[in-house]
Amino acid sequence: ALEQVMNIIDYDLAAEVQQHLRAKGVNLYLKDGVSAFEDHDSIVSVRLSSGTLIDADIVILSIGVRPDTAFLKDSGIELAKNGAIKVDAYFTTNDKDIKAVGDAIEFASPLTKLACTVPLAGPANKQARLCADAIIDGNKRPYEGTIATSIAKIFDMTVASTGLTEKGLKAAGLPYRMAVTHAGNHAGYYPNSRQLTLKILYHPESGRLWGGQAVGYDGVDKRIDVISAFIGKEGTVYDLAEFEQAYAPPFSSAKDPVNMVGFIAANTLEGFSDTISWEEAEQQRKNGAFMLDVRSEEEYELGAIEGSVNIPNTVLRQKLLMVPTDRLVIVYCAIGLRGYLAERVLRQNGYTNVRNLTGGYKTYESAVRERYLLENKDKISVKREGGTINHLHEDGSFRKRTENKIFTVDACGLQCPGPIIRLKREIDNLEEGDRIVIKASDPGFGVDVQAWCKLTGNELITVKTTDGIIEAVVGKGNASVCSMPDSVGEKPAICDSDNGATMIVFSNDLDKALASFVLANGAAASGKPVTMFFTFWGLSVLRKKDAPKVKKDFMGTMFGAMLPKGMDKLALSSMNMGGMGAAMMKGRMKKKHVDQVQQMYEEARRSGVRMVACQMSMDIMGIKAEELLDGVEIGGVATYMGAASESKINLFI
C-alpha cells in the first residue's frame, strides 16, 4: 500500500489508500496531490506522537512479520499465538505424518529455551536439509535451533545482529551486561578506514555471550559472523578477547574490534572496571550522579553531557579533590578507553563507587541527540534540479549554466562548523560559475551545506552520501541572482542593498560582550558584512592577555591597571559575586555547548567581521595600539558612520 501511495497520480485514489492505512494505525499525510508530485516535493508526511510533522519522499515501515498460515486455520494443525506452526526437534507437527520447515515454524530458542519464530532464509535452508534426512533416515539428528543472525544494507550503511537483543533478554528474564566500542574497520593509518560500532551482550557472571550488534560501512559482516560462531558454541567474552583474526593493515587492526569488546567485558568480569550503559547513566545523572568528563578541554568544548565536570585524564591525579567521594561517579571519554584509565586512577586512590560509560560520549551523544533531533527537526527544502538558485540569462529565462572550473576540497575529519568554514574560504576565491566538490565526514554537513547555500546565494548542485562520506557539489553564486524577479522565490541575504550590520560595543561586561559576538557571528553567517565599533569600556574586550609593556602617562597607567585585561578577566553585569558569577557563567556555557567569548571572537575574525577600536576612546583611556588583539583596526566616528550608512541593523550594546 505504501508503494502505491508513492506512485499514485489520482488524488482521490491516494486519499482512499491513506484512509485505509489510517484504519490500521498508520498516519500518512498527502500534500497537494498531483502538483506536489510533479514538483518533486515531499508528498507524504509522518506525524510523530509528539505532534512533530516530518516531510518525506518515502516512508519505510519496518514493523515486523507474521506467519501467513491462515490456510491451516481449520486443518487441526496446532498453531502458536502468532500463527506459527508448532514443531518438535525433528520438524514434526502435532500430526505425526506432517512436518514443517521455514519462516512459519515455532521452535525452542537455544539461548532462552523459549518458543520463538525466526523468519530467515539461512536457517530455513538448513532446516530443510535436516528435515529431508529425518524423512529418509528417521529421527536421528535433532534441530538445535537458530540464534537469529541477520544483516541488512541500509543505503550506504550495514547493520547486523546475532543472538539475543536487550529486549529479548528482558523478556526472557535473563541477566546481562553490555560492552560497546567504536573502532575502524581496519588500521587507521591505512587509507579509507571507516568506523564501525560493535556491541555485545553477555552474562554478568559467567561471561557467556548472549548477543551482538554492529553498524558501519565495511567489515560489519565478518565481525558479526565471528560473534555468531562463538554464541553458537556457548562461547564467552574471553573467547572474543583471545580470538585470532587474519591481520594486515588493509583488513583489520592488531587488536580487532571483536578483541576490544572482549577486553572491555573481561575487565569488567575480573573487577578492573564497572561499566554502565548510556541509558542507565542518563538515569543516574538525573538522580544526582557526578559526571566526570576526562577528555581534553577542546573535546569538552565541542559537546559534553549536561552537568558534567571536565578533568582531562592526564591531570586527574593532580585534581582528585575536585571529585566527590560521597556519591556515584560516572566517568566517560570519547569511546571508553580513557574513561577506563581514569576509572583505574580513581580506584587506586580509594574511590569505590565509580563506573565507566561503555561506548563513551560517542554512544551517549548519538542516542540522546538523535532522539532530540527527531523531535525538533528543522525542515530545509532544496529543489532537486539545479540547486536552490538557477541563473538568470539576458533573455529573462532561468537555465542551468554550463560547467566552468571544478575544484576539489577534502574536509574529512573536520567537525562542525569546520567543513562549512572551509567551504566558505575556498569558494570566496573562485570565479562565478566555478564549482567545488567538497567531501566531509561530519554527519551534519549534508544539512548544513543546504542551509548555507540558501543563505549565501551559492548553488547547491548535488549532495550525496557514500560510505559515510558526504559529498556536495557547490557552484559559485552569480551576481545576477539579485536581479531575478520576486516571483522566482526568496532572494539570499547578499541581495539586500543595505545588507550590513553595525554594533557599538560600549560595555566590558562578559554577558554583553558575549551577546555582541553571538549577534555578529549570526549576522556574518547570514551573508551580512558586519562592523563592530568598540568604544570606552568596550575597548577592554580587545586587550591582549599578555600585552607588551608600553610607556604611558600616570592616568593611562591607572586606567590600564583598573580595566579588565582581555576577555578572560571580564565580569558579569549582574551577579558577578567577585568573579564567581563569571566563572559560573563560563561553566554553564560549557554545559550548554555554547562557545566561550574567545572562541566567538576567533570565529568572528575568520568570518570577516570588521572590528574597529575608537581612537578617541583609546586616547582617553590610555590604551595603546600594541595592547590590542591582532587584526583590530583603529578608527573614528567617520569609520563607524560609513559602515552604519550601509547597514539595515545598528545596535548599541
Q: Over the stretch 360-410, which tens digit does the pLDDT of each residue have?
A: 998 998 888 666 655 554 433 333 333 333 333 333 333 333 446 788 888
For 106, the 3-state DSSP assignment is strand
**Residue 158: pLDDT band with limits 50, 70, 90:** very high
Q: Residues 131, 412, 416, 495: which is the catalytic one? A: 416
Yes or no: domain 275-375 corresponds to CATH 3.40.250.10:
yes
CA–CA distance from 155 to each of 158, 447, 636 (Å)? 8, 17, 58
Residues 6+ apart with CB under 8 A from 496: 648
Burial of 322 per CB tally in 10 Å (0-12, 13-18, 19+):
exposed
Question: Are domains 78-137 and 150-269 of this chain identical in fold?
Answer: yes
Q: What is the pLDDT of residue 521?
A: 75
242 versus 649: the higher-pLDDT residue is 242
Q: Which CATH class is domain 500-652?
A: alpha beta
Mapped onto helix, strand or coil, the DSSP state of residue 38 is helix
Task: Summarize pLDDT for 579-606 with one digit per residue, the tens.
Answer: 676 777 776 666 544 557 777 788 888 7
Other residues' Cβ atoms within 10 Å of the Cβ of residue 393:
11
In sign, the C-alpha dihedral spanning 606, 612, 613, 615 is positive
Q: What is the pLDDT of residue 172?
A: 93
Query: Do residues 333 and 342 make contact, with C-beta atoms less than 8 angstroms apart?
Result: yes
Which CATH code for domain 150-269? 3.50.50.60
Average pLDDT over residues 96-125: 93
Name residue 331's beta-bridge partners. 292, 356
The model's confidence at residue 171, banded by pLDDT at 50, 70 and 90, is very high
Number of H helices, E strands in the chain: 20, 27
333 is catalytic: no
pLDDT at 27: 58
Which segment, 42-46, 384-388, 444-448, is predicted with the most confidence on average? 444-448
Chain centroid to Cα 91, Å, comes to 46
Residue 256 to residue 263: CA distance in whole angstroms: 10
> Could you tell me the pTM of the whole model?
0.55
Query: What does the pLDDT average to over 33-61?
Result: 64
Of the chain, the percentage scoring pLDDT greater than 70 comes to: 77
Of 418, 582, 392, 597, the C-alpha closest to 479 is: 392
Rounded Cα gap, residues 132 and 90, in angstroms: 10
- Average pLDDT (478-497) is 53
What pLDDT, on a 0 to 100 scale, did the predictor assign at position 395? Answer: 36
Q: Is the pLDDT of residue 78 over 80?
A: yes
pLDDT value for 640:
81
Rounded Cα distance, 87 and 95, in Å: 10
How large a percentage of the chain has pLDDT more than 90? 42
**Cα separation values, 510 from 313, 502, 583, Å:** 30, 19, 10
CATH entry 3.50.50.60 includes domain 78-137: yes
Strand ranges of the sheet holding 500-505, from the earlier edge strand across to the other edge? 633-635, 610-614, 530-534, 500-505, 647-652
What is the CATH number that goes with domain 391-495?
Answer: 3.30.110.40
Q: What is the mean pLDDT of residues 430-447?
A: 81
Residue 81 Ramachandran class (φ > 0 left, ψ -120 to 50 alpha, else beta): alpha
Mean pLDDT of the chain: 81
Rg (CA), the chain: 31
For residue 142, cis peptide bond before it (omega within 30 degrees of 0): no
| Domain extent listing, the chain | 2-56, 78-137, 150-269, 275-375, 391-495, 500-652
Cα–Cα distance list, 37 to 8, 56, 218, 315, 460 (Å)? 9, 12, 36, 59, 21
Rounded average pLDDT over 75-87: 94
Q: What interhelical angle do 418-427 and 445-456 show, nearest 10?
A: 40
What is the predicted pLDDT for the residue at 341?
Answer: 96
Instruction: Judge whether residue 256 has pLDDT over 90.
Output: yes
Q: What is the pLDDT of residue 479?
A: 53
Distances (CA, A) of 541 to 430, 552, 559: 35, 20, 14
Residue 585 CB-density burial (10 A; 0-12 exposed, 13-18 middle, 19+ buried): buried
User: pLDDT, tens digit, for every residue of 325-370?
Assistant: 999 999 999 999 999 999 999 999 999 999 999 999 989 988 886 6
Residue 111 near residue 210 (C-beta atoms within 8 A): yes
| DSSP 8-class letter at 313 | G
